[in-house]
Amino acid sequence: MKSQSAAGESLPPPRHQRVDGAARLAVGKNGLTDLYQRAPCRLLFPDTEPGEPLQAVSLTTTGGLTGGDRIAFELDIAADAAATLTTQAAERLYRVHPGDPDILIDTVLTIGDRGWGEWLAQEAILYDGTRVRRRFQADVAASGRMLAVESLVFGRTAMGETIRTGRIHDSWHIRRNGRLVWVDALHLEGDIAAQMAAPFAFGDANSTATILYVGPDAADHLTAVRTLIDGAQGGATIFDGLLIVRLLSADAAALRRSVIRIVAGLRHLAGGYLAAMPNVWHC
């Protein structure tokens, strides 16, 4: 049934408000050098412990994303600089109406010589019927180092929620000194529940995380990281200056605890920083 104006004329269907947010941050040896924000993306800069990198906390003021929403993050770390970009809370990716575009999330990191960069994103919670394309890209100089984590939760089981259908495309593109060294993607579409339940896929798991460390010393930390996995469902491997950890869990809270333990340990081992996550992870 079409809406009508007071004069009896047919009105076009209402348009949903969509967001196109962005946050860009550049860090030099002596601190912040450039900052740009566009709603709904906002960056906060909490005080940190002595010796810790400059820390920026990203928040999305809409409280979640749905069809047609786009957000983008860029972190540029110059030579000899260090910074951590994290998120205030889990990101909620809601159901997308038929005919609406997919949710788009882009994250880009550039790290110069001897630089240190961290992308410590809290979980993305997927709702039934969501459609999302998330892409992480990084270019790390030969002597630069990067630590990154991304997690997906397929419905809040404590709330009785499950994800049955939708589209999820989650990809990584990593370059070292301009050379592409790793491309990876998870793609689920249609009957997601059936695809996940396959024994060679997720089995009974409803959450997953990827932890990535890039640096010339990546191989030095493999044994320690495998110890940090400590019985969690997952594993770690190395190649070409990359250390990759994959985790699965039927309990999203248990997955989060594993992520905190591994990432906190790795940032201490590789970067010499506190064996702890940013405070917002514990709020």
pLDDT at 199 (0 to 100):
80
Above 60 in pLDDT, residue 45? Answer: yes
- Single out the residue of 143, 26, 24 nearest to residue 78, CA to CA: 26
Region 267-275 average pLDDT: 98
- Single out the residue of 265, 225, 267, 217 nearest to residue 246, CA to CA: 225
pLDDT at 4 (0 to 100):
55
Percent of the residues in the chain that have a pLDDT greater than 70, as a whole number: 94
- SS percent in the chain: helix, strand, coil, step 5: 15, 45, 35
Above 90 in pLDDT, residue 13? Answer: no
**CA–CA gap between residue 281 and residue 122 (Å, rounded):** 7
pLDDT at 160 (0 to 100):
76
pLDDT at 6 (0 to 100):
58
pLDDT single digits (tens) 224-247: 999 999 988 999 999 999 999 999
Above 80 in pLDDT, residue 40? Answer: yes
Above 50 in pLDDT, residue 1? Answer: no
pLDDT at 120 (0 to 100):
98
70-87 per-residue burial string, b: 16 or more CB within 10 A, e: under 16: bbbbbbbbbeebbbbbbb
**CA–CA gap between residue 207 and residue 204 (Å, rounded):** 9
- Single out the residue of 68, 190, 42 nearest to residue 133, CA to CA: 68
pLDDT at 158 (0 to 100):
74
pLDDT at 157 (0 to 100):
75
Any idea what the Cα angle at residue 109 is, between residues 103 and 113, rounded to 5°? 175
At position 95, the amino acid (one-letter code) is: R
**CA–CA gap between residue 123 and residue 136 (Å, rounded):** 14
pLDDT at 24 (0 to 100):
97
pLDDT single digits (tens) 122-169: 999 999 999 999 999 999 999 999 999 999 999 887 777 889 999 999
For the whole prediction, is pTM greater than 0.85?
A: yes
pLDDT at 3 (0 to 100):
52
Neighbour-count burial of 48, counting CB atoms closer than 10 A to its CB (0-12 exposed, 13-18 middle, 19+ buried): middle
